[in-house]
Amino acid sequence: MAPRYLRFLFFSAFLPGVAFISACKPGIYLKQQDGDNLAFTTMTTIVDDDFIHMAMGPKQIALGNLLFFDKIMSGNQNIACATCHHPMTFSTDNLSLPIGEGGVGLGPARRIVRDGENPVQERMPRNAPDLFNRGMKSFKTLFHDGRLSTDYSQANHFRNPAGEALPDGFEHALEAQTIFPLTNPTEMAGHFGENAIAACADAGDFTCLWNEVVERLKANSAYVDLFIDAYGLDSADDITIVHVGKSLGAFISASFRADNSPFDQYLRGDDSAMSHKAKRGMEIFYGKARCVECHSGVLQTDQSFHAIAMPQIGPGPGGNGLDGHDDFGRERATGEQADRYKFRTPSLRNAELTGPYGHDGAYTSLEGVVRHHLNPGVSLANYDLSMAFLPSGGSLDLIDPIVLNDFLSKAALIVANELQPVFLSEEEIECLLAFLRSLTDERSMHLGHLIPSSVPSGLPISD
């Protein structure tokens, strides 16, 4: 059996001059060139009990699978969770900014429809994050700005956008997070006048909205039977939005687990799992490039928030900066100006697969976003909107570069930036990219089996 704990030694990112020595069981050994002051930590390998779905049953996971792909919960019944987090696009949509309610198609082929019954009114303001390993219990803060987090001082145990309206019963952040996309007009709810769910969203009434979603599910006899069977309920009257969130969380946890990358195999004792180039890149990652200052731990994230002068593109979430199109990030959740332009450090697991990168998908290439981290100020100054992938939206295209083209807005990003420039040779950058690719779990490239042949609503799932 693989050991639960492996000794993992690395230098302090603030100390220069670290040389790679060897990779010997049971850990990775790095040494300062002057031979002094090694820093030690314990890296915990990922095991089954780290995931929330291990406490759930197969019927609950299967129910979550159907809900994930069914458009029945969206206001106009034209978009599902899977639309922006599809298995065939590695739990994202491969767009810089998602096309939510009213869009047509999947993944890179999804397009904006500006006419018709329910036209797209704006792009989503932030990139659709991947779902890999989000079912781990260690993920206690979610969304790019961390507006939902586990907080046992709250009556419902979560600090969240709905406040006390979030019902009791959720045990993990992921379970609670899954029901919030349903409340966003641009994402899934639709806009005022289009449907009853949208009316609740326009009124800011979370309870009303979630009740409307549950009533739809109760009106479907197949779903009623599935909920009763999965949770041992007495009747349809017992179905709640908590059952919906717990089922979705269980499915995401079970289906998007990614812990068998070459890096994982290496940590578990297989010295041959990583190439020499990737091992050299690992040395740079934990050493000269200082990536570990934010991308720490077994998932390569400190789960905190940092300002790195990421170019701001798209409409923004509203109410920030120039014409309301900037995005103040963590400040929107905390109200603290010191948090302006800070966004959550993403996990780097499967990073090779899950672009575009940044809170707004500013970079489509992994190399592009890596180079940004090495010198954010220069990168921002030289950024061009062609580095993103934004399907044309007619007049919506005019909004995309508003903040990007504003000198004062860019200057504010640079002032807030926390990263110091780091010089790496081209060879070192290639090695660093090789290490990041070693964080890819090959199983995550083959997720077509998650797509059901049909869903209880009978709505299409192939568009």
Angle at 7 (CA atoms; ends 6, 8), nearest 5 degrees: 105
31, pLDDT greater than 80: no
Q: At what angle do helices 58-69 and 241-255 cross, to 10 degrees?
A: 100
Distance in Å from the first CA to the final CA of the chain: 43
Q: What is the tens place of the pLDDT at every residue in 148-177? A: 999 999 999 999 999 999 999 999 999 999
- Considering the chain, what percentage of its residues have pLDDT values greater than 70? 91
Q: Tens of pLDDT along 352-384?
A: 999 999 999 999 999 999 999 999 999 999 999
pLDDT of residue 17: 39
Mean pLDDT of 123-144: 98
Give the mean pLDDT of the chain: 92
- Summarize the confidence of residues 108-116 as an average pLDDT: 90
Helix axes 276-285, 426-437, angle to 10 degrees: 100
Phi and psi at 135, nearest 5°, equal -85, 5
Contact 322, 402 (CB under 8 A): yes
Smallest CA-to-CA distance from 292 within 6, 12, 8 is with 12
CA dist., res. 412 & res. 406, Å (int): 10
The HSE-up count of residue 409 (CA atoms within 13 Å, CB side) is 20
Per-residue pLDDT at 42 = 56
Would you list the domain boundaries of the chain? 52-92+129-257
Report the C-alpha gap between 148 and 163 in whole angstroms: 10
36: tokens are 């002094």
Q: Assess contact for 20 and 283: CB atoms under 8 A.
A: yes
Each residue's pLDDT tens digit, 69-83: 999 999 999 999 999
pLDDT per position as a tens digit, 294-310 = 999 999 999 999 999 99
The whole-number average pLDDT for the span 226-255 is 98
pLDDT confidence of residue 117 = 80
Q: Write out pLDDT tens, residues 406-426.
A: 999 999 999 999 999 999 999
* b/e code 86-99 from CB counts within 10 Å (16+ = b): bbebbbbbbbbbbb
- pLDDT above 90 for 58: yes
Residue 141 forms beta bridges with which residues? 149
Q: Quick one: how far is CA 117 from the chain centroid?
A: 31
Q: How far apart are CA 301 and CA 292, in angstroms?
A: 8
- Domain 52-92+129-257, what fold? Cytochrome Bc1 Complex; Chain D, domain 2 (1.10.760)
The residues pairing with 41 across neighbouring beta strands, listed in sequence order, are 8
Query: What is the tens place of the pLDDT at every residue in 85-98?
Result: 999 999 999 999 99
Mean pLDDT value across residues 247-263: 98
Say yes or no to pLDDT of 29 above 50: no
